[in-house]
Structure 1
Amino acid sequence: MNDVNQDVAQSFTWTLREYGAGQQQRRTLKVPAGGGIVGRSDEADLCIPVTAISKRHAKLWAENGILCVEDLGSTNGTHHNGIRVQTARLHEGDLIQFANAVFRVGQVEESRNDGTLQEGLIPWAQTLLTFEKLLSERAVIPHFQPIVTMDRQSTSGYEVLARSNLPELQNPAKMFHVAERLGQNAALSELMREEAARLLCEAQHFDAVVYVNTHPDEFGTDRLTTSLENLAAAFPMLKFMIEIHEGAVTELAEMRKLQSTIRSLGMQLSYDDFGAGQGRLMELVEVPPDVLKFDMQLIRDIDQASACRIDLLRSLVRIAKDAGSITLAEGVETEAEHEVCVDLGFELGQGFLYGRPSPAPPSMPSAN
């Protein structure tokens, strides 16, 4: 009987599939044939680099065709189908939770292994170590994209965009994906603002307005207020435009409070990506920003748009201006788009037509 069970066990591979919330990437972990240690340490057989997981959190092994788990005295425990356990026998479809990391137990036939399974999360662990380096060594490389007047006579400002030279974290999507998993969105956002300001001061570029982004997680927090106060105190010679994503503008009371804080610090307020979501016309009218940035999806191919779409955009531009906001068209890439935006009454423009993001501070020569 044991021989038969052993043959069955060897015909299948036990797997753990991430069962996280939101948009985080699901990964399927292959449990080593001989079992192994689960933990956040790189020395673990299945490395899950989550802070709440202990270095040696639990042990997995197969016994008579059944996957078994034993907690190794972890700080935050091991749970089987929602119940904290010391040991448990796992079946296909069960949920196993190490601290706050949840996985669904599965099996695949060895012959069907298509190479997508991972022996632990070593690639992910390396990415997390790289992110720690990004923060500790301040290894971000802010890029600056020009914002121009629609007559193209002057550059009124530059938006700071997140970049780095670290292979796993070269673009903002990758950076903030990792930051989301680690709860470090605010820290990454703060770092990008501070490094951009430092570079601008070193280049002695004090004329144009510098547009710096905030993360939605920062909205309505004391941490954002403190961060902006520190930014104003450390770089009083710079002109900051604080960008709030349209999707984060949800409560009028919080927006009024933030606007008051920003103005008291000698900064200005911008709503970013207007029109990407609900439009938020109430917030626009009740708490008008200094600059309203229209999302690139509204601008893309506007020269080929229907008369109804153009009339709608013209109305939104007029409402924004009547509220006292300067209007900015994002994502302008062609001369035809530019001409329509001028006709619609946009005052500022941003996009590849006017200049690509560059790592050099704007007062220094750089190729677009």
Structure 2
Amino acid sequence: MLPTVLFLDDEPELTRGVARALRKASFRVVTANSVEDARTVLAREEVHVVVSDERMPDMSGSSFLSELRTEKPDVTRILLTGHGDLDVAQSAINRAEIFRFLRKPCPPDELESCLTEALTARDRYLAWAEHEQREHARQSTNSTFGSALGGLWLAMQPIVRPDGTLFAYEALARVPHGTFRGPLELFESAHELHRTTELERAVRANAALLASQLPAGLKLFVNVEPSSLGDAELYDDASPLSRVASRVVLEITERAPLRSIVDLEGRIARLREMGFMLALDDFGAGSAGFTAFATLRPDVAKLDMDMVRGIDKSDVQQRTVRSMIHLCKDLGVMVLGEGVETDGERETLRELGVELLQGYLVGKPAPPPPVGRQSEG
């Protein structure tokens, strides 16, 4: 779509002549013979450049362009002046931020050249302004991210056996008030800022402290992005989480494809050697979930919440989950039903043979209890 130029002059013959002369230009020309008509055009359609004669009967062109600067700053402004209006033109350049002023009568080729330059300059300005806006937003997000990282804490959600005894907690990232709206926005911002590794390391350091304070026999599930499987710190025996590896279940999320990880099998073997258990999140969520299951051979498979929701009312879901449980038991993999919210869902999962349960019915995420207050019952 061609850019639009509005030409304002109180002489109809002149505006018709301009429209004829520029009909083959690389932009579209619309005309107005009064400031009121010009305002109507501006309200009706998008205009990129306005050319106004200074001597308009209802309002001076410079005053109109100055008004336009406030109301529509993205519109480029050009002033047409007679020989006696040079002082006014100079003032208008400062007051209305005129791109250029042209003397009347202005030859069509000079007018077309000026308008082409104005449109090019406008495009450059808008590109610069957009870049500046993005950069400002990035800096603001970066600052917010730093504050969130400094105040990061982990909530704990219980994971229980079918008889209700405590098996583990899942550590869930939480952000301080006044930063991001929630952990999802935090992780999305980390990705945009290329600070995911930094965030994951902070989560693991916090999780290590929690794991070290759990009573003997309890595990801590810690979410790990696939990209973190490429982080050398995860495999460092001296890193905080490595020191409590025997108490940690690394829960692999699928925000990125596992196949992109170099030497994935070797890395998984190394984590097991260090003492970590592995869990696969969202098992059953499409073919990718089964591919990840075959690749990871996890110790725990967490059923996708969509498989759990309303399972007590769906024969198809029950049959599907039963077959998944059968597969997992053949391979020695524990099955965890996540997102359990009703008694019916819990009882159905128990009857199907699910070995672990998690969800709001079992217990909501909450701040860690004081040291020594966690229990297994």
Aligned equivalent of 1:179, options 190, 194, 197: 190
Report the counterpart of residue 145 of structure 1 in structure 2.
157
So what's the TM-score if we normalise by structure 1? 0.64
For 1:260 and 1:229, the matched residues in 2 are separated by: 18
Query: Residue 295 and residue 99 in structure 1: after superposition, are their counterparts in 2 closer, same or farther (change >3 A)?
Result: same
Is 1:14 the counterpart of 2:74 in the alignment? Answer: yes
Report the counterpart of residue 159 of structure 1 in structure 2.
170
Aligned equivalent of 2:312, options 287, 303, 312: 303
**Secondary structure of the residue that 2:252 maps to in structure 1?**
strand
For 1:199 and 1:173, the matched residues in 2 are separated by: 21
C-alpha root-mean-square deviation of aligned residues, in Å? 3.4
Aligned length: 275
Kindly provide the amino acid, as one letter, of the partner of residue 318 in structure 1: H
Report the counterpart of residue 69 of structure 1 in structure 2.
none
Kindly provide the amino acid, as one letter, of the partner of residue 288 in structure 1: R
For 1:101 and 1:10, the matched residues in 2 are separated by: 19
For 2:207 and 2:293, the matched residues in 1 are separated by: 28
Aligned equivalent of 2:121, options 67, 71, 89: 89
Aligned 8 A contact 1:284 1:320 in 2: no
Tell me the CA shift for residue 299 of structure 1. Answer: 0.5
Aligned 8 A contact 2:160 2:357 in 1: yes
Kindly provide the amino acid, as one letter, of the partner of residue 343 in structure 1: E
Aligned 8 A contact 2:226 2:258 in 1: no
Report the counterpart of residue 373 of structure 2 in structure 1.
364
- Structure 1 unpaired stretches of 5+: 16-60, 67-87, 104-119
**Secondary structure of the residue that 1:147 maps to in structure 2?**
strand
For 1:235 and 1:350, the matched residues in 2 are separated by: 23
Tell me the CA shift for residue 248 of structure 1. Answer: 3.9
Aligned equivalent of 1:271, options 272, 280, 301: 280
Query: Residue 287 and residue 131 in structure 1: after superposition, are their counterparts in 2 closer, same or farther (change >3 A)?
Result: closer
Aligned 8 A contact 2:225 2:255 in 1: no
**Secondary structure of the residue that 2:170 maps to in structure 1?**
strand
Tell me the CA shift for residue 288 of structure 1. Answer: 1.1
Which structure carries more helix by proportion? 2
Kindly provide the amino acid, as one letter, of the partner of residue 282 in structure 2: D
Is 1:216 the counterpart of 2:220 in the alignment? Answer: no
Residue deviations 1:13-56, cap 9 Å, x none?
439xxxxxxxxxxxxxxxxxxxxxxxxxxxxxxxxxxxxxxxxx
Residue deviations 1:257-313, cap 9 Å, x none?
2220111111111111222343432442354101111121110111122x2232122
Alignment of 1:235-314 (within 5 A): 235=244, 239-248=247-256, 250-251=258-259, 254-305=263-314, 307-314=315-322
Which structure carries more strand by proportion? 1
Aligned 8 A contact 2:65 2:96 in 1: no
Aligned equivalent of 2:144, options 114, 121, 130: 130
So what's the TM-score if we normalise by structure 2? 0.63
Query: Residue 12 and residue 288 in structure 1: after superposition, are their counterparts in 2 closer, same or farther (change >3 A)?
Result: same
For 1:355 and 1:309, the matched residues in 2 are separated by: 24
**Secondary structure of the residue that 1:191 maps to in structure 2?**
helix
**Secondary structure of the residue that 1:278 maps to in structure 2?**
helix
Aligned 8 A contact 1:8 1:65 in 2: no
Tell me the CA shift for residue 8 of structure 1. Answer: 3.5
Query: Residue 360 and residue 288 in structure 1: after superposition, are their counterparts in 2 closer, same or farther (change >3 A)?
Result: same
Residue deviations 1:158-198, cap 9 Å, x none?
11000133322362123223222211122112211211221
For 2:334 and 2:157, the matched residues in 1 are separated by: 18
- Structure 2 unpaired stretches of 5+: 1-52, 54-60, 76-94, 101-119
Report the counterpart of residue 112 of structure 1 in structure 2.
none
Aligned 8 A contact 1:288 1:324 in 2: no
* Sequence identity (%): 28
Aligned 8 A contact 1:130 1:166 in 2: no
Kindly provide the amino acid, as one letter, of the partner of residue 14 in structure 1: D
Alignment of 1:49-128 (within 5 A): 63-64=97-98, 89-91=121-123, 95-96=127-128, 121=137, 128=142
Report the counterpart of residue 74 of structure 1 in structure 2.
none
Tell me the CA shift for residue 125 of structure 1. Answer: 5.3
Kindly provide the amino acid, as one letter, of the partner of residue 280 in structure 1: G
Report the counterpart of residue 322 of structure 1 in structure 2.
330
The structure number with the bigger radius of gyration is: 2
Query: Residue 97 and residue 127 in structure 1: after superposition, are their counterparts in 2 closer, same or farther (change >3 A)?
Result: closer
For 2:241 and 2:65, the matched residues in 1 are separated by: 68
**Secondary structure of the residue that 2:74 maps to in structure 1?**
strand
Aligned 8 A contact 1:163 1:172 in 2: yes
Query: Residue 211 and residue 130 in structure 1: after superposition, are their counterparts in 2 closer, same or farther (change >3 A)?
Result: same
Tell me the CA shift for residue 336 of structure 1. Answer: 0.4
For 1:14 and 1:227, the matched residues in 2 are separated by: 54
Aligned 8 A contact 1:186 1:215 in 2: no
**Secondary structure of the residue that 1:183 maps to in structure 2?**
coil
Aligned 8 A contact 1:5 1:65 in 2: no
